[in-house]
Amino acid sequence: MKVILFGATGMVGQGVLRECLLDEGVTEVLSVGRSCSGISDGKAKEILQKDLYDLTGVEDQLRGFDACFFCLGVSSSGMKEAEYRRVTYDLTVNIATTLVRLNPAMTFIYVSGAGTNAKSRQMWARVKGKTENALLGVGFEGAYMFRPGYIQPLHGIESKTKLYQRIYDVMTPFYPVMVKLMRRWVISTEELGRAMIQVSRDGAPKHVLETADLVKIVEGS
């Protein structure tokens, strides 16, 4: 399986990239982004693209892939809805539209988040919900929306947002307890990456997957 990964330098993307490199069934993983992932591996390739809104110049390099794992995202903190929509809805749907034209049989997996709802009063949840709805109608052979709740970074992976990383540092000792008491709400970067690979291979019973669904997929694999 050949995979395109957007957001490889973010916390979720780092975890997904790690699992792709470890999985023998993934023969190639192409990271596309504005900054270098810093990963040196035989099956890892990279495209540095400053303008992700225009992939015209690299389209030939995006053909022949089986799956896209879209982990690219920004915090809505301090952003107005129009600005957040541009970097969440517009960018994601634009990339998806390009990829489905180049790879009609591709499976597209989008990481949104728990609480996503196109009718929500919360701006971020509303925009991500509309993004999910648009992606489900783009025309991919398989499209899945991942809605993880609390994500625990493992294997030295850190969030680029300092405040979030401080929270993870505090919560790390309690993660085993959280798994026992709140399993349906918590997942690790390792499990999230494994779930993406599993779903891209075998599909899933529904197209919108909450944390509990993702955990079930991983634990049943």
pTM here is 0.94
The C-alpha atoms of residue 209 and residue 213 are separated, in whole angstroms, by 6
Q: Which residue from 144, 154, 151 is spatially nearest to 68, judged by alpha carbons? A: 144
Cβ atoms of residues 115 and 125 within 8 Å: yes
Q: Which residue from 68, 71, 66, 8 is spatially nearest to 37, judged by alpha carbons? A: 8
Percent composition of the chain: helix, strand, coil (DSSP 3-state, to 5): 45, 20, 35
**Given this model, what pLDDT does residue 35 score?**
83
Domains, the chain, in order of start with CATH, read 2-219 (3.40.50.720)
Q: What is the pLDDT of residues 36-82, one digit of tens each?
A: 777 777 899 999 999 999 999 999 999 999 999 999 988 888 899 99
The C-alpha atoms of residue 209 and residue 204 are separated, in whole angstroms, by 9
Q: What is the pLDDT of residues 83-121, one digit of tens each?
A: 999 999 999 999 999 999 999 999 999 999 999 999 999
